[in-house]
Chain A
Amino acid sequence: MSEKTIEIRHKSSGMMRDAFKRLMRNKAAVLGLVIILILILSAIFANVVAPFSYDEQNLRQRFLAPSPEHWFGTDEYGRDIFSRILYGSRTSLMVGAISVTISSGIGTLLGAISGYYGNRVDNIIMRFIDIMLAIPNILLAISIAATLGPGIVNVMIAVGISSVPGYARLVRASVMSLRDQEFIEAARSIGANDFRIIMKHILPNCMAPIIVQATMSIAIAILSAAALSFLGLGVQPPMPEWGSMLSNGRAYIRDYWWVVTFPGVAIMATVFAFNLFGDGLRDALDPRLKQ
Chain B
Amino acid sequence: MLRFLFRRILMMIPVLLGVSLVVFIMSYFTPGDPAVMILGDMATQEDIEMMHKELKLDEPFVVQYVNYVKNIVTKGDFGTSYTTKQPVLDELLARFPNTFKLAGLSVILSVLIGITVGIISATRQYSILDNVATALSFIGVSMPNFWQGMMLIIVFSVWLGWLPPSGFSTPLHWILPAVTIGTSSAAQIMRMTRSSMLEVIRQDYIRTARAKGQSERVVIWRHALKNALIPIITVVGLSFGRLLGGAVLTESIFSIAGIGKLMVDAINLRNYPLVQGGVLFIAIVMSVVNLIVDVLYAYVDPRIRTQFTTFNIRKKYRMEGDRDE
Contacts and interface: CB of A to CB of B under 8 A. Distances in A.
A208 B199 contact: yes
B30 A143 contact: yes
Contact of A223 (B145, B192, B275): B145
B23 A135 contact: yes
B139 A130 contact: no
B257 interface: no
A173 B233 CA distance: 10
Interface stretch (B43-51, B109-117, B241-249): B241-249
A180 B310 CA distance: 14
Interface string A276-291: 1001001000101100
Interface stretch (A16-24, A193-201, A260-268): A260-268
B19 A131 contact: yes
B303 A268 contact: no
A138 B267 CA distance: 8
B242 to A, nearest CB: 8
Interface stretch (A56-64, A67-75, A246-254): A246-254
What does DSSP make chain A's interface, helix, strand, loop or mixed?
helix
Interface in B257-278: 263-264, 267-268, 275, 278
Interface string A211-247: 0100010010001001100010000000000010011
Given A143-B29, A173-B230, A227-B248, A267 B144 contact: yes
B97 interface: no
A136 B231 contact: no
Contact of B141 (A146, A176, A216): A216
Interface in A111-135: 118, 123, 126-128, 130-131, 133-135
Contacts of A134: 15, 19, 245, 279-280, 282-283, 286
Contacts of A166: 238
Contacts of B40: none
Interface residues of B, number: 59
Contact of B146 (A135, A209, A250): A250
Contacts of A118: 307
A7 B141 CA distance: 34
Nearest to B27: A139
Contacts of B230: 173-174, 177
Nearest to A283: B198
Interface of B: 11, 14-15, 18-19, 22-23, 26, 29-31, 134, 138-139, 141-147, 150-151, 154, 188, 191-192, 195-196, 199, 202, 230-231, 234-235, 237-238, 241, 245, 248-249, 263-264, 267-268, 275, 278-280, 282-283, 286-287, 290, 297, 301, 303-304, 307
B15 A272 contact: no
Contacts of A246: 144, 147
B144 to A, nearest CB: 6
A169 interface: yes
Contacts of B145: 223
A126 B14 CA distance: 12
20 contacts: A127-B15, A130-B287, A131-B18, A134-B15, A135-B19, A135-B22, A135-B23, A136-B267, A136-B282, A138-B248, A138-B263, A142-B267, A143-B26, A143-B30, A177-B230, A177-B304, A268-B139, A275-B142, A288-B202, A289-B202
Contact of A209 (B192, B202, B282, B297): B192
A131 B234 contact: no
A174 B231 contact: yes
A209 B197 CA distance: 12
A97 interface: no
Interface residues of A, number: 55
A275 B231 contact: no
Nearest to B253: A250
Given A209-B195, A223-B145, 12 more contacts: A118-B307, A127-B11, A127-B18, A131-B15, A131-B19, A136-B282, A138-B248, A170-B234, A212-B195, A219-B141, A246-B147, A271-B141
Contacts of B231: 170, 173-174, 209
Contacts of B234: 169-170, 173
B191 A212 contact: yes
A216 B139 CA distance: 11
B22 A208 contact: no
A104 to B, nearest CB: 15
A270 B142 CA distance: 8
A271 B135 CA distance: 12
A275 B30 CA distance: 37
Contacts of A223: 144-145
A219 B301 CA distance: 31
A139 B26 contact: yes
